[in-house]
Amino acid sequence: MTSALKYEWTRLTTLRSTWWISGGSILVGVGFTFFVAMVIQLNTPTELVDDVNADYSRFILDGAMTQFSNIDPSFYLLAYVVAILGVLTWGHEYRHGMIRATLTAVPNRTAVWSAKMVVVGAWVGVVVVVSCVLSLLVTLVWFSGLSFEFDLGYLLLAVLKRVAFTVLLTWLAMATTVLIRHQTFSLVMLYLWPLGVETMIRLLMLAMSGVTGNKDLYDTTRFLPFNAGGRIMQNWQGDFQENLSTFGEPLNALGGLVVFGGFTLAVMGVSLAAFLKRDA
């Protein structure tokens, strides 16, 4: 396993695309925060000069640090950009015939598969943390007139939630790429599935609920993987969503983690089985 980890670390860090995508992800995240905070500050220069209570401090800092994904998880573009690294990690193996070179350097397939997941997952996690820290700094600069109450535990949990979502998304993208062994199609799936497929299913279920009068039909869409994944981060929908049940409507963060994480682990399991069985 040590050999596989060393191989994967060197593989990842010796590609320009790793640095471009990681830098780009941070730029997207921090840039978005910078832009939104700037717009707010420039349009309300006299209003942002007061103490902020604990609830709103948590809400504002959570949102500003994580590109307001606590309001709408689709704002968390950073995750979808950095997850490209996961697609490329396996996509390069098959697109450039690298998989045979890899397996002649490290013949233990389980170790190769695991090392990729561990190293890329860790890398992506670090990118998320860096993005959160820089976004928080940018926010504090623009909102320097406000006096926040810092709930360090809450902020750490907010970062951990983004790390969890982004790592799971990246692993899902990696596992899917192993299964379909086509880099371009995997990239398309990374965006088409959450934005297209799940949206279509939700629309369909909404229509059926309307026709049949059975609201439960639409409520089942909370278990769609990306819909559930978004719940890991989202905790505001017009009000502070507190005391939600794990698998109720909507799911709470733990429920989202269980559904999205369970789905991801299932796809990963299938991908490992396929990788062990298939010809290289």
Would you tell me which residues interact with another protein (CB under 8 A)? 3-4, 6-7, 9-11, 14-17, 92, 96-98, 100-101, 103-108, 277-280
When the beta carbons of 105 and 156 are compared against another protein, the nearer one is: 105
When the beta carbons of 43 and 104 are compared against another protein, the nearer one is: 104
Q: Which two tokens stand for residue 99?
A: 């998989």
The Cα 229–Cα 277 span in angstroms is 30
Task: With both helix axes pointing from N to C terminus, report the angle between 109-142 and 152-180 in degrees, rounded to the nearest 10.
Answer: 140
- Residue 80 CB, nearest approach to another protein (Å): 23
When the beta carbons of 93 and 198 are compared against another protein, the nearer one is: 93
The Cα 238–Cα 236 span in angstroms is 6
Q: What are phi and psi of 144, to 5 degrees?
A: -65, -15
DSSP collapsed to 3 states, 33-102: HHHHHHHHHHHCCCCCCCECCHHHHHHHHHHHHCCCCCCCHHHCHHHHHHCHHHHHHHHHHHHCCHHHHH
When the beta carbons of 74 and 110 are compared against another protein, the nearer one is: 110
When the beta carbons of 58 and 92 are compared against another protein, the nearer one is: 92
When the beta carbons of 14 and 43 are compared against another protein, the nearer one is: 14
Length of the chain equals 280
- Residue 96 CB, nearest approach to another protein (Å): 5
Provide the β-strand partners of residue 236: 240
When the beta carbons of 105 and 204 are compared against another protein, the nearer one is: 105
Provide the β-strand partners of residue 51: 147
Amino acid at residue number 112: V
When the beta carbons of 112 and 128 are compared against another protein, the nearer one is: 112
- Residue 19 CB, nearest approach to another protein (Å): 11
Concatenate the DSSP letters of all residues of 5-34 into one string.
HHHHHHHHHT-HHHHHHHHHHHHHHHHHHH
The Cα 213–Cα 216 span in angstroms is 9
Q: What are phi and psi of 159, to 5 degrees?
A: -65, -45
Provide the β-strand partners of residue 147: 51
